[in-house]
Structure 1
Amino acid sequence: MGRKQSFTETELLDMTKRLILEYGYDGFHLKLLSQHLPGARSTIYQYYANKEEIVAACMKRVISNVITNASSIDETDTLAALQQLLHIYVEESNLHQILGDAHKIKTENDRALNDLLFVEQSHAILKVQLTRLFERAQKEEILRTDIPLPVLISTFFNLLNTPNMMNLPAQQWSNLLFQIWIGGSRS
């Protein structure tokens, strides 16, 4: 009978995410990860063969959560759907920080390559949803049509970089950001 693992895969990926956010991809390594998890470093290898696999799996997990939440949005009310989407993005506002290093991962590893392909496909799915909602909002004259769609979308995404200096809960913060954004984008 084998020794009980000291941590779960979920705990491993949660810690990976935390450390990537704190140290960046270049500062993240398996020794650092093992220092933040109970048990032997060798336990990490029961789940993943190397840094690239772990980081790619972390990226896949983060974007999977965003995709799951974004796909559950009721889009019948375009404005409400955009607000809900912003909230999902605010909750995972560090997504871009994590995914920004995807190009650094060596893709000779099939497992890492498959996870990165999933991330790329997921980005495309999110882009389609966002574009569809923005186009519909312009058609419904909820958003200004004199502002090009790429400008509206980029300012929407730039809201995620706004520091939450009041440390408001994510829902309250995203609602406030949305009100500021929509106030400058309305017809």
Structure 2
Amino acid sequence: MGRKAVYTETELLDATEKLLLTYGYDGFHLKLLSEHVNGARSTIYQYYANKEEVIAACLRRAMHRIMKKIEVIDETDSRQAIFDTLRAYIEESKLHQILSASNKVDTTQSDHALADMTFVKEGHTILKEQLMRIMLQAQQQGILRSDVDSLAVASVFFTFVNAPNMLGVTNEEWTHILFNMWLHGVGQQ
């Protein structure tokens, strides 16, 4: 009998994230995960008890990643803060797709899944509050139109975040292009 290959928790969560992006919550299962990591399915159970726990841990990690990028943004210059926020979201552009699984995770069977999903929900609230705070400040400073509801402004902002980079430029270049289009529009004055 051959020796079992072992993988790290990070490798397990990396594979989970890729599979969620490819197959979604409904198409994800532990057998599929074990086929995409170098090791036996039993190794998964050394880290997580079930599908819900591994997905919840993956979602928590994704939320933590974006929160680390967002928490360091200096909000004193709202124009720069909007740009930096856009850049962070573009760097994590798959976050929205990954987090779409959050409303499907059954937290009733696992305290670990419940804790992770609570973190995700609280993180979402923090991110939303920060973005709205920056948008409102930008409206008060005359950087953004004050006659447009800030929720509508934020909705368009996220439409830009989800725009595919069909030019194939770097994230930094793509952020500049989208920021300028979002801030100034594409029509001629």
TM-score normalised by structure 1 residue count: 0.93
State the superposition RMSD in angstroms. 1.5
Output aligned runs, 1:89-168, within 5 Å.
89-108=89-108, 109-168=110-169
Query: What residue is the counterpart of 2:51 in the other structure?
Result: 51
Query: What residue is the counterpart of 1:63 in the other structure?
Result: 63
Q: CA deviation at 1:107?
A: 1.1
TM-score normalised by structure 2 residue count: 0.93
Instruction: Write the distance in 1 (CA, Å) between the matches of 2:144 and 2:161.
Output: 19
Given that residues 157 and 182 in structure 2 are in contact (C-alpha distance below 8 angstroms), is that contact kept between their aligned partners in structure 1? Answer: yes
Q: Deviations over 1:24-53 (max 9, x none)?
A: 111111111111111211111100011100
Query: What residue is the counterpart of 1:181 in the other structure?
Result: 182
Q: CA deviation at 1:5?
A: 6.3
Q: CA deviation at 1:64?
A: 0.4
Alignment partner of 1:101: what SS? helix
Moved more, 119-128 or 158-167: 158-167
Alignment partner of 1:6: what SS? coil
Q: Which AA in structure 1 matches 2:116?
A: D
Alignment partner of 1:49: what SS? coil
Q: Which AA in structure 1 matches 2:130?
A: Q
Q: Which AA in structure 2 matches 1:45?
A: Y
Instruction: Write the distance in 1 (CA, Å) between the matches of 2:29 and 2:112.
Output: 18
Instruction: Write the distance in 2 (CA, Å) between the matches of 1:153 and 1:91.
Output: 18
Given that residues 132 and 151 in structure 2 are in contact (C-alpha distance below 8 angstroms), is that contact kept between their aligned partners in structure 1? Answer: no
Instruction: Write the distance in 2 (CA, Å) between the matches of 1:27 and 1:168.
Output: 32
Q: Which AA in structure 2 matches 1:10?
A: T
Q: Deviations over 1:34-87 (max 9, x none)?
A: 111112111111000111000000000001011111001112211011101011
Q: Which AA in structure 2 matches 1:123?
A: H
Gaps of at least 5 residues in structure 2 are none
Count residues in correspondence: 183
The sequence identity of aligned pairs, in percent, is: 51
